[in-house]
A and B are shown apart, each in its own frame.
Chain A
């Protein structure tokens, strides 16, 4: 296990379109890593629009205090849209792990890119907006960036009560997708 995603600091970038809950998913990762007992810094970046436009959310996780708060090359990348893939797909560290939605046509050509039906799974669950949590579940199952139980706890803490159940369900489905992928050759 000497992949980039087991290093310290661990640099996580979550990306997609505005409105896909990218910033929320970053907050969930940060909260879960905090519950793991780590130092965390979460930053967010988006355009001036309320919807659409590129959105990214970054979390730096470390056992030590963190100086530079942003991510230059990510160790772990989640990508929910083509725009985001074009922008950030290549901005990863050697040995990085990327989990990319399978509706992103160009994805899956590079080692370290795991293509999964994140948005389609969320749609099956009745809410495509929970694709962020499907993605998080998959990311956590494959890369082990945080304790899954702390992931669930963080979702309960940060997701509005009316959307809690669908997000938790999406997270579990994502974990299943990730586990299946992690054991498959």
Chain B
């Protein structure tokens, strides 16, 4: 048992996932991730490099992946905005990598030390064009470890940049947890040789003497060719294939945790640090005899529509509290439309919701539904 900080748990989770390359640029509240990496990676045969900015940081990670290393970077809002360019590049070039965004209040410089959940849409749609996206979040230090480890697994399984959303509180929070021992220098065997085409539904094969891969952000076919007729169609085919693969595995990818939903008439749907307040809110409401349960989403994108629908069929109403002015509530509403009403509760002032505030919002929604009125959307 040890006192571990959220940002430190990112690093141990990454190492357990085989991470051996980190490039970054410091920013509150993600800086400790970089500091731990700088301390730990070189002694374990890995590479740590501080780059000149966030664009360069993710570019270095992408290059490292093609060079045969398993890389990640971490940042916060302003840096995450800068990284959108290369998140798109990683998606286009099907390069596995992990990007951690510890969310703080935005837009722009905002409140550097205060928590937010304002990047959940940016994590899905921030880069231009269409792309498959895998975005996960966490609500405890142990979760952060597990999620980061899994992030590396999925980055390679689906050949995408996996995005992990934390927040200023979780990043700096310490909890006493049991961390599994991480092997001193994990042996990662990368596939070598060029038996299959470098792009499309094939395993990621880094550069080697046997490959002649050209990596480009231009539209390309499975061989990497960027010219000739049919490149547009080929590029769309690769993209569609990647989207379909993730869709096919939706039930495996959609990770969530439920709490007291068995007999629930009402559900709070929440994610990240806000889910901790929601769990306490449920204690308060249950004490007053309100049958309410929690659906905590760990995977945010692809949005777990099948899970929220299943819960929606069993309850009379849902509440989504989030530290933004109404973002993830949009896909939630569209997924459960016609099944059950959804209220939004949002704030973007840098403070967490208290359990009391969430309980009050749930009570208000219940009253409105029980008097038969339409639910107001007080986002």
* Interface, chain A (partner B; CB < 8 A): 27, 30-31, 34, 39-48, 66-70, 72
A51 to B3, CA, bound (A): 25
Residue-by-residue, is B332-371 near A (CB-CB < 8 Å gives 1, otherwise 0)?
Answer: 0000000000000000000010111000000000000000
A-B pairs, top 7 by smallest CB distance, nearest first, are A68-B280, A67-B279, A42-B174, A34-B176, A67-B280, A48-B112, A43-B173
A34 nearest CB neighbor, chain B only: B176
For B172, what are the chain A residues with a Cβ–Cβ distance below 8 Å? 43-44
- Interface flag for B283 (CB, 8 Å): yes
Instruction: Return 8 A-B CB contacts under 8 Å, by A number.
Output: A30-B174, A34-B3, A42-B3, A47-B113, A67-B283, A69-B276, A70-B354, A72-B356
For B276, what are the chain A residues with a Cβ–Cβ distance below 8 Å? 67-69
Q: Which of B1, B175, B279 has the most CB of A within 10 A?
A: B175
Tell me if A41 and B113 are in contact (CB < 8 A).
no
Q: How far is the CB of B184 from chain A (nearest CB, A)?
A: 23
**Which residues of B264-318 are within 8 A (CB) of A?**
273, 276-277, 279-280, 283
**Main DSSP-derived SS at the A contact region:** mixed
Tell me if A41 and B175 are in contact (CB < 8 A).
yes
Q: Taking A42-B3, A48-B113 as contacts, is the C-beta distance between A68 and B174 under 8 angstroms?
A: no
Tell me if B176 and A68 are in contact (CB < 8 A).
no
**Which residues of B132-191 are within 8 A (CB) of A?**
169, 172-176
**Main DSSP-derived SS at the B contact region:** mixed
Tell me if A69 and B273 are in contact (CB < 8 A).
yes
A48 to B276, CA, bound (A): 25
For A47, what are the chain B residues with a Cβ–Cβ distance below 8 Å? 113
Tell me if A70 and B113 are in contact (CB < 8 A).
no
- Interface flag for B213 (CB, 8 Å): no
For B175, what are the chain A residues with a Cβ–Cβ distance below 8 Å? 39-42, 66
For B112, what are the chain A residues with a Cβ–Cβ distance below 8 Å? 48
For A27, what are the chain B residues with a Cβ–Cβ distance below 8 Å? 3, 174
- Interface flag for B28 (CB, 8 Å): yes
For A40, what are the chain B residues with a Cβ–Cβ distance below 8 Å? 3, 174-176
**In the complex, how many residues of chain B place their beta carbon closer than 8 angstroms to a beta carbon of chain A?**
23
A154 nearest CB neighbor, chain B only: B3
Contact pick for B113, options A31, A46, A66, A72, CB 8 Å: A46
Given contacts A34-B3, A67-B279, 9 further A-B contacts (CB under 8 A): A31-B3, A40-B175, A41-B173, A43-B169, A45-B114, A67-B276, A67-B280, A68-B354, A69-B169
Q: Which of A34, A40, A43, A72 has the most CB of B within 10 A?
A: A43
A39 to B174, CA, bound (A): 11
For A69, what are the chain B residues with a Cβ–Cβ distance below 8 Å? 169, 173, 273, 276
Tell me if A70 and B174 are in contact (CB < 8 A).
no
For B277, what are the chain A residues with a Cβ–Cβ distance below 8 Å? 67-68
For B28, what are the chain A residues with a Cβ–Cβ distance below 8 Å? 48
For B173, what are the chain A residues with a Cβ–Cβ distance below 8 Å? 41-44, 69
A70 to B356, CA, bound (A): 13
A31 nearest CB neighbor, chain B only: B3
A44 to B355, CA, bound (A): 19
For A48, what are the chain B residues with a Cβ–Cβ distance below 8 Å? 28, 111-113
For A68, what are the chain B residues with a Cβ–Cβ distance below 8 Å? 276-277, 279-280, 354-355
A98 to B176, CA, bound (A): 26
A31 to B1, CA, bound (A): 10
Q: Which of B1, B113, B355 has the most CB of A within 10 A?
A: B113
Q: Which of B111, B114, B174 has the most CB of A within 10 A?
A: B174
For A70, what are the chain B residues with a Cβ–Cβ distance below 8 Å? 169, 352, 354
